[in-house]
Chains A and B, each alone.
Chain A
Amino acid sequence: MNPALAIDVRGLTKSFGGTKVVDGLDMQVARGEIYGFLGPNGSGKTTTIRLICGLLTPDGGEGSCLGHDVRSESEAIKRETGYMTQRFSLYEDLSIRENLEFVASIYGIAKPKHAVKETLEKLNLADRSHQLAGNLSGGWKQRLALAAAIMHKPKLLLLDEPTAGVDPKARREFWDEIHVLAAEGLTVLVSTHYMDEAERCHKICYLAYGKLLARGTVDEVIEQSGLRALKASPTLEDVFVHLMRDVTDNFARRKAG
């Protein structure tokens, strides 16, 4: 086990009803890194995140998250991880403050009132703290969800498409926030469909049909694709379209053969 790695999983496999959703996945994320997780819908991103934080048990493979075994030590992982789910999963009939106080108590934070106040200020939620979560717009809901995920000062933050349905300005502010948190030493694994967001990650990986197709820094991924030989200045998007074409061809060929 490498202590410099926040996430270190090998050969991770998970099936639902006979379909392999994650297929022999290897993934290493260094501590303090912002790691972008890309791939088309249904490629297994959410399942991978859930496997890493112990919400799902892998069928095969092994690994550790923050030094804890993903199979047997999910309790310890939960305590040190913040997970922002794809769908808003806080209580819509509770106010911002009430939601955060609830979360603070569940994590057993020493001074809950203080922690809530601090988090509210940090994410500029203080003015709205009495609003019901259900009445918030997409951008503010996402801010609240982030607040709930970081209040217990986790070492690892898992963000599952955090900016889906959020306007560009709020998206930019959100990413500024993520960079501040990473600068404080937090490791962030974030799944996204936006290429501009991918470019703000230290490293990225690309997942399709449960398999990793590419990984590295943005530059490395473009370089590896070999597209530079064919095109003047290929973008990340070009690379992924190219990668998907290969994979889909392979699938078709395998089916035909």
Chain B
Amino acid sequence: MSARFSLRRLGAMIRKEFIQMRRDRLTFAMMLGVPVMQLILFGYAINADPKHLPAAIHAQDHSAFARSFVKGMENSDYFRFVATAESEAEADELIRSGKVQFVLHIPPQFSRDIERGLRPQILLDADATDPAATGNAAASIQFLAASVLARDLKGPLAAQGAPSPVDVVIHRRYNAEGRTELNIVPGLIGVILTMTMIIFTALAMTRETERGTMENLLTMPVRPIEVMMGKILPYIIIGYVQTAVVLAAAWWLFEVPFAGSLGLLAFVLFFFVAANLAVGFTFSTLARNQLQAVQMTIFFFLPSILLSGFMFPFRGMPEWAQWLGEALPLTHFLRITRGILLKENGFPEIAPDLAAILAFLLVVSLVSLNRYRQTLD
């Protein structure tokens, strides 16, 4: 009898699965929550053609031509002028610190040279660490140069406007060839660490609960902070090993330049890894079994890779998504690693992002210590 396929037995299995699914509320919520989150993030937050990128102007000529050029750039929707640089050095600082994506340099005697038909050069400095973010904007400016000024040039000047009255030179800084891997590989350090560190700790604690060893741990005179640090520190070492592997690959296989200080990167790494481990520890105090811990990790990991600027340009996202991104440690860590490896950033440039990671670490640690119970109540 039992050799044949039985619909009744199949029905019993299916019923049992549904009952268990319903009992595990969190899993049930995740089954609905993850698709909704993905829809919102992919549908609304992600934009592969970022607009309104912050730019600065370094003008050594304030003529009508210069003004209409800037106006034209703003009207193209790709650029948003947020700062004015008085000097070469100031312009440099703005782009290095990541405050702006572009600096437009207008040379002295710009209008005079146009009128004389000398095709003056306009220099657009672009932070090309993320080629996807700058690509379209940079392409649009070439087209602008011809169209915008054509309106201002009348009479004999218009006639000579053969290809374009100005020569736009785009200087792709930090990534002259626009290689995507220069952006991806340093970012990968953060992504790999986020994924593995959170899941390690989330499972490490949940395993104790699931296997019943938590009870024994609680009967012994061990303090929550000792348990937490004891769980976290071994993985910080693992995190350094992982980073070393990715950096070695970045160097040998992808020829990523190591512009800045590796010591500084190693210093920041400690806090970033600790922040992720604290997240994992918090999850492990919330999850009742290892499956739930894995699901919570996914719930955190997904927005981390989508909203941090790892896969899609951060500045291409709507404001609410940028705010969400700012709350994630990966966002700040990406800026730091890209800054250090590609832009030779030093401590002053990375300090704001490091502060954000520290704040995150502090808040999450407090939450997790608060959640960890020394009793079985």
Contact = CB atoms under 8 A, between A and B. Distances in A.
Contact of B211 (A55, A92, A103, A108): A92
Contact of B215 (A75, A79, A81, A85): A85
Nearest to A75: B221
A107 B221 contact: yes
Most buried by A among B211, B222, B374: B211
B221 A90 contact: no
Contact of A56 (B213, B221, B375): B375
Interface string B357-377: 000000000000000001111
A88 B219 contact: no
Interface in A65-104: 74-75, 78-79, 81, 83, 85, 87-92, 103
A176 to B, nearest CB: 25
A106 B211 CA distance: 19
B221 A85 contact: no
Contacts of B211: 89, 92
A57 interface: yes
B220 A106 contact: yes
A79 B213 CA distance: 18
A53 interface: yes
- Majority DSSP secondary structure for residues of A touching B: loop
B376 to A, nearest CB: 5
B216 interface: yes
Report the interface size class on chain B: 10 to 19
B212 interface: yes
B221 A89 contact: no
B220 A78 contact: yes
A85 B212 contact: yes
Contact of A55 (B212, B221, B376): B376
B157 interface: no
The interface centre, meaning the residue of A87, A106, A148 with most chain B CB atoms within 10 A of its CB, is A106
A112 to B, nearest CB: 14
B222 A106 contact: yes
A58 B216 CA distance: 20
A78 B212 contact: no
B139 to A, nearest CB: 57
B40 interface: no
Contacts of A81: 219
Contacts of B219: 53, 55, 78, 81, 83, 85
B291 interface: no
Contacts of A20: none
Interface string B212-237: 11111011111000000000000000
A88 B212 contact: yes
A87 B215 contact: yes
A103 B375 contact: no
B215 A57 contact: no
A56 B212 contact: no
Nearest to A78: B221
A78 B376 CA distance: 14
Contact of B213 (A57, A78, A89, A107): A89
A81 B216 CA distance: 12
A189 to B, nearest CB: 14
Contacts of A90: 213, 216
A56 B377 contact: yes
Nearest to A158: B219
A200 interface: no
Contacts of A53: 219
Contacts of B213: 89-91
Given A55-B219, A87-B212, A89-B212, 5 more contacts: A83-B216, A89-B216, A90-B216, A91-B213, A108-B221
19 contacts: A54-B375, A55-B218, A55-B219, A55-B375, A56-B375, A56-B377, A57-B375, A78-B221, A85-B216, A85-B219, A87-B215, A90-B213, A90-B216, A103-B220, A106-B220, A106-B221, A107-B220, A107-B221, A108-B221
Q: Which 3 A-B pairs have the closest CB atoms?
A: A89-B216, A83-B219, A78-B221
Interface of A: 50, 53-57, 74-75, 78-79, 81, 83, 85, 87-92, 103, 106-108, 148
